[in-house]
Amino acid sequence: MQRIALFLMTNLAILVVLGIVMSLLEPWLVSQGINVNHATILIIALVFGMGGSIVSLLLSKRMALMSTRARIINNASGATERWLVDTVARQAREAGIGMPDVAIYDAPEPNAFATGASRNKSLVAVSTGLLRNMRQNEVEAVLGHEVAHVANGDMITLTLLQGVLNTFVLILSRVLGQLIDRVVFKSERGYGPGYFISVIVLQIVLGILASMIVMAFSRWREFRADEGGARLAGRENMVAALRRLQSGQSSSLPESVEAFGISGRVGSGFKRLMMSHPPLEERIKALQGGR
């Protein structure tokens, strides 16, 4: 709840600061023939920037279950399910968080993910491919990695960051759109065709830049979760689990969940800037260097 409160306060602070700045600039903008309706712009940013992120966070657990068709283990049947629940329960106690729901989803590749709106109402899910292709000590490390994500509050922090950036994108694209429409396209009111074209282009460009920032944070949090998994299950086991993932198939998680998986698609050059996960080899080296 603290992180959600921080998220709300951060976004509200941004709206207040931007509102003050826009009010100070309004006389100059009006003198240039630009009528900035900053109240409307701030409301749009509030609803679609901050509001959209809050809704996404609150529905993250349900949407993850629906998109992967994961089954929550309510009554463990068989030794594997009992071991999964007991292991997550032990790791959750050690990490100081509430017991997550534990689920299994059908997928051929070894993978797992964690999500949820808070550290005490989260979900840890593993694929059937992970259970088939990994040793128990490696699965334990993967579970530790996901529990570490929950303990670090990564899902909430990622949503906070995305919400803040969404707010900036929505506001800046509209303010700059009016300036461009007035200065470049010579519109008398700043709301001509150039405004709408500029807003669309700016939202795409600024949105890409915002995504690059979010993905950079996502890659960084994977290193931190690996360290958490090493503490909960042993460094050698965490390294072994990542090596096993190197020989597995590429992730087939839905796009809405992929950033929360233990492994994801990677690329080189510009593509790497848009990837949610660093290469597994880099993660292994980081763990080995942390001995």
* Amino acid of residue 35: N
Evaluate whether 36 touches 29 at the Cβ level (below 8 Å).
Answer: yes
- From CA 273, how far away is CA 168, in angstroms rounded? 20
The pair of three-digit structure tokens given for residue 184, joined into one six-digit string = 């470049």
Helix, strand or coil, per DSSP, at residue 113: strand
CA distances to 59, 116, 227, 277 from 56, rounded to whole Å, are 5, 10, 27, 21
Q: What are phi and psi of 76, to 5 degrees?
A: -60, 130
Tally of CB atoms within 10 A around 272? 13
Instruction: Give helix then strand counts, H and E, for the chain.
Output: 12, 4
- From CA 85, how far away is CA 173, in angstroms rounded? 47
Tell how strand 112-118 and strand 121-127 pair up: antiparallel
H/E segment holding residue 125: strand 121-127
Nearest partner of 254 among 280, 276, 233, judged by Cα = 276
Evaluate whether 226 touches 243 at the Cβ level (below 8 Å).
Answer: no
Helix, strand or coil, per DSSP, at residue 154: helix
Residues near 151 by beta carbon (within 8 Å), at least 6 away in sequence: 95, 96, 97, 119, 228
Exactly one of 146, 222, 227, 258 is catalytic; name it.
146
Active site residue 146: yes
Residue that is written with structure tokens 């292709």 in the block: 133
Tally of CB atoms within 10 A around 285? 12
- The catalytic site residues sit at 146
